[in-house]
Amino acid sequence: MTEPQNAATSKSFSRGAAVIEDHLTRLPGSPGVYRMLGQTGDVLYVGKAKNLKKRVIAYTRPERLSLRIQRMVSETHTLEVVTTHTEVEALLLEANLIKKLGPKYNILLKDDKSFPYILITGDHAYPQIVKHRGARNRKGEYFGPFASAGAVNQTLAQLQRAFLLRSCTDSVFSSRSRPCLLFQIKRCSAPCVDRISPPDYGALVDEARSFLSGRSQQVQKALVKQMETAAEEMNYEEAAVFRDRIRALSSVQARQDINSIDIEEADVIALHQAGGDCCIQVLFFRSGCNFGNRAFFPTHTQDETPEEVLAAFLAQFYEDKVPPREVMLSHGLPAEDQPLIVEALAQRAGRKVAVTVPQRGDRRKMVMHAYDNAREALGRRQAESSATRKLLDGVADLFGLDAPPERIEVYDNSHIQGAHAVGGMIVAGPEGFIKNAYRKFNIKGEEIAPGDDFAMMKEVLTRRFKRAKDEEAEGDRSSWPDLVLIDGGPGQFKVVEALMEEMGVTDVALVSIAKGQDRDAGRERFHMAGKPSFSLPPNDPVLYYLQRLRDEAHRFAIGTHRAKRSAAIGKSPLDDLPGIGPARKKALLHHFGSARAVSEAGLSDLAGVEGISQAMAKKIYDHFHPNR
């Protein structure tokens, strides 16, 4: 809480404060959200207020502001406001805008990963049990969230053994004529070929639903009773099936790192601050079981108290998630924010949400466990960040950059003789690889000759920087790189350099990495504008760092290419036929023997297939013979 530090800073602060004062006369005294905008229209800060005029006037008094907020005021050139009916609406809108716009001076929760759930579908006579990530718009029941896809996969594998529910898609289900391998290894009851009656399958679904809803002990006791009954009746094969199901359920329960009978549905959230950085650890408890944990590292927290950081975190974290019935915190919330956040969470959940700071008992132990995890995670991150910072300093010295790069983008292509060509972009910075910023590009240019790497790279970078320029026009420059690395030699470099000049991208450093003689690691040569190519000593740590970036881009591009190729291999030409569902597709394949034979069939032959009308036959024929 200090005065602006010097005359220049004082002058810029006074200018920004004057802009804010000019808007004060037009601000209402109602709840709402305000946005501070910079010279180019970029959003600097988003805030909410119960009374807009009273809140915004505080930004004209430097003695009450942190240095970070003083800098924000100094850069402010205009102010925009949106009024709301209540302060809770303002809080929800503020969280939405912060996540969407990523303002420069707000506390930011930079984590775009959605959480995985287990879904028991409700849109089929035989429900399917699957992993689900993304919008919850499919009919059914969702159980979670789980902290990672790995935790879901492990749990699903055991649940399939325990309840024998199908995991195949509806199209595969409808086309089966005999049981699949999952039935043979006792992980499915094969409802697709009527190996189980609808009532019996429904009973399995009810058991799975009860288990995932927290009634695991009742389910296990019922299975034990059924196993004992089968054994008494000397039906040992059936008893063995129940035994295996009980073992699978026990495995799911034993997999939990922490179990507490007192915690049915809660998120345990603990915060640790050190060295200007912050880590928030979240433990997920659902149905009385621990569904894992995840660490978050919010930015712009060095000037804020733990209570203020937690308040900002809760608003953003639950902006697109349904809160549990209880949220346990390591620190209390600011007094003025506590009732507001509780009301906002209840509104988001559609029911009451308890927000507590446990002081004793099992709940306190859970919070301290989360706090210990937060402290250890922050220590590891700071150690890694320190080492990465030194490497980035070395990168800046090597390539003559004005400052260590905050965002490095690395590009690579992958294809097999031009087939299934894709481009990959990976992103790295001071905190390591930024995987939620990775992008894949399906090569679309029809004029590109198969295997023309120059043209492929040109298409990828054209699309990338066209989008970056569109975002810049909207005032968002957060995704612009400081350094672009491409995998290639002088020819690749010249093509990309000419493209960047043509697009007017002149403030981004460009470097290409050419594989060394005999493609040996350690003999790479670097190409830059205005400098002869050069190499580094094989044991140089900066070289090793750049190799890691190049290899990560290569891994990502190859993985994307393989996924595209695998999808193409498993795809039938009949999949693209309009109006052809599983039944008609099956009839066509049975009649002609293969998709290729269908594509070569005449109009009268197609019309002779059961279920294919004359009009449908004409549509199929026209699809495969567009020029006739």
Give the closest residue to 145 by CA, choosing from 4, 299, 49, 282: 282
- Residue 421, C-beta contacts closer than 8 angstroms, at least 6 positions apart: 413, 414, 415, 442, 443, 448, 456, 561
| DSSP, res 62 | G
Work out the burial of residue 350: count CB atoms within 10 Å of its CB; fewer than 13 is exposed, 13-18 middle, 19 or more buried: exposed
pLDDT tens digits along 588-604? 877 777 777 777 788 88
Which residues lie below 8 Å from residue 513, measured CB to CB, with a gap of 6+? 485, 486, 487, 488, 524, 525, 526, 546, 550
How far apart, in whole angstroms, are the C-alpha atoms of residue 104 and residue 236? 67
| Range with top average pLDDT, 69-78, 230-239, 569-578, 606-615 | 69-78
Q: What is the phi/psi pair of residue 269, to 5°? A: -125, 120
Is 324 buried (19+), middle (13-18) or exposed (0-12) by CB count in 10 A? buried
Token pair listed for 188: 């499915």
Residue 439 has φ and ψ, to the nearest 5°, of -140, 145
- Using CA atoms, how far apart are residues 247 and 238, in angstroms rounded to an integer? 14
Q: Which two tokens stand for residue 392?
A: 């980035």
Contact (CB, 8 A) for 549 and 540: no
> Is residue 278 within 8 Å of residue 310, measured between CB atoms?
no
Among 131, 35, 284, residue whose Cα is nearest residue 296: 284
**Collapsed DSSP state (helix, strand, coil) of residue 45:** strand
**Tokens at 452, concatenated:** 């023309």
The full set of domains in the chain, from first to last, is 7-101 (3.40.1440.10), 117-254 (no CATH), 266-379 (3.30.420), 408-568 (3.30.420.340), 573-624 (1.10.150.20)
- The pLDDT value recorded for residue 381 is 82
Q: Is the pLDDT of residue 545 over 80?
A: yes
* pLDDT higher than 50, residue 623: yes
**457/524 Cα distance (integer angstroms):** 20
- Rounded to 5°, angle at Cα 440 from 417 and 572: 60
pLDDT-derived band at 3 (thresholds 50, 70, 90) equals: very low
Residues of the chain with pLDDT > 90, as a percent, come to 22
Q: Which residues, listed in sequence order, are joined to residue 410 by a DSSP beta bridge?
A: 426, 485
Amino acid at 330: S
CB 468 within 8 A of CB 480: yes
Q: Give the chain's radius of gyration (CA, Å).
A: 30
pLDDT tens across 316-328, in order?
Answer: 998 888 898 999 9
Pairing type for strands 277-286 and 289-296 reads antiparallel
Q: At residue 258, does pLDDT exceed 50?
A: no
List, for residues 46-70, the tens digit of each pLDDT value: 999 999 989 999 998 888 888 888 9
Confidence bin at 448 (pLDDT 50/70/90): low
Measure the CA–CA gap between 168 and 124, rounded to whole angstroms: 12
d(C-alpha 308, C-alpha 33), whole Å: 18
Q: List, in order, residues 6 or more apart from 520 with CB less than 8 Å away.
A: none
Highest mean pLDDT among 249-258, 337-346, 408-417: 337-346
Q: Quick one: which of 36, 107, 47, 26 has its CA closest to 76?
A: 36
Q: CA 576, 581, 586: angle at the middle one, nearest 5?
A: 100
